[in-house]
Amino acid sequence: MEKFVLDKMDSALLKSIADLNDIPTGAFSLRKNGQPVKVNTTPNINILRKQDKPGIDIYVRADTKGETVHIPVVITESGITDVVYNDFYIGKNADVIINAGCGIHNDGCSDTHHNGIHRFFLDEGAKVLYVERHYGEGDGEGKRVLDPVTEVYLGKNAGLEMQSTQIKGVDSTVRTTKGELGDGASFVVTEKIMTHGHQVAETNFDVNLNGLDSSVHVTSRSIATENSVQRFNSRVYGNNKCFGHVECDAIIKDNGKVISTPEITANCVDANLIHEAAIGKIAGEQIIKLMTLGLTESEAEAEIINGFLK
């Protein structure tokens, strides 16, 4: 397992999903074609293989600051179905970055699936920035399917910021995110999705604001082009004095379709919940403004999309 060397395709996928040029230093676990291939731990971060099912348990010691855990997954063989269960236990007052992502290269005619089931357990005062990028490529007829599940359990005053991005090449995705928040806990989610062709993307958020002064901010920015379809379902339950804000902005092009359902439920009279949803094509005036700066219509559109998904 320790002699693993990245080939050209692995490197390209790693670059796309984690901006890595090589195997990173620090704590990491690299999974390829359904198998763990390389693991590294640090004095503060331990990674153990699960005995009962595929996946790992990641333990971050209390008060660990400034370390990054990389857990990339690359799939280069066609027809693989890979389900992996990763649990993160973040100690009191630790503050770390977790960089996950899956890159699929499928040149074959069979579908390739990857489902990462990630659970986060944050102790009091712990902070995590969780970055997840999904990317697919390949010329085969086989589909690239990613169905990630993220469950977040936040203790007192803990905070998790999740940035998830799916820009290209994933044929079908159902993204499920659940959150249970304790007193003073904060959960921030920024999701960016761009779909094209006949792709389908569905997002389901379920967040329970159980703790006093807990808060959630969900920002979803999506672009559906060609014949692709996106569904955004968000359910936020205010079960205490809390604050919840859900914002869903979508740009549609060609025959793209977006269905957005931001649902908020106040189960406590002191819950303060807001939702905003907007769907529309690129505003003509935005294109005109950029054209007055000398950009062609297609350059203007590309700049607007890049900015929207930045």
Residues that bind other proteins (CB under 8 A): 221, 249, 283, 285-286, 288-297, 300, 303-304, 306-310
Distance (Å, whole) CA 26 – CA 35: 20
Distance (Å, whole) CA 186 – CA 206: 14
In the chain, where does DSSP find H-type helix?
A: 8-18, 284-292, 297-308
Minimum Å gap between C-beta 284 and other proteins is 10
Minimum Å gap between C-beta 285 and other proteins is 5
269 vs 293, beta carbon nearer other proteins? 293
Distance (Å, whole) CA 244 – CA 17: 30
118 vs 133, beta carbon nearer other proteins? 133
Q: How many CA atoms lie within 13 A of 100 on its CB side?
A: 26
239 vs 286, beta carbon nearer other proteins? 286
Minimum Å gap between C-beta 298 and other proteins is 10
Query: Facing residues of 190 across strands?
Result: 163, 219
Minimum Å gap between C-beta 247 and other proteins is 10
Q: How many CA atoms lie within 13 A of 54 on its CB side?
A: 17
158 vs 189, beta carbon nearer other proteins? 189
267 vs 296, beta carbon nearer other proteins? 296
282: left (phi over 0), alpha (psi -120 to 50) or beta: beta
Question: Could you tell me whether strands 271-280 and 112-122 are parallel, antiparallel, or unpaired per DSSP bridges?
Answer: unpaired
Minimum Å gap between C-beta 249 and other proteins is 7
Minimum Å gap between C-beta 308 and other proteins is 5
76 vs 165, beta carbon nearer other proteins? 165
Q: Which residue has the tokens 């957005």?
A: 260
Distance (Å, whole) CA 50 – CA 42: 18
Q: How many CA atoms lie within 13 A of 50 on its CB side?
A: 14
60 vs 304, beta carbon nearer other proteins? 304
Minimum Å gap between C-beta 292 and other proteins is 4
110 vs 286, beta carbon nearer other proteins? 286
Give rounded-to-5 percent helix, strand, coil for the chain: 10, 55, 30
Minimum Å gap between C-beta 304 and other proteins is 7
In single-letter form, the type of residue at position 153 comes to Y
CA-based Rg of the chain, rounded to a whole angstrom?
20
Q: 252: closest CA among 203, 196, 201, 302?
A: 196
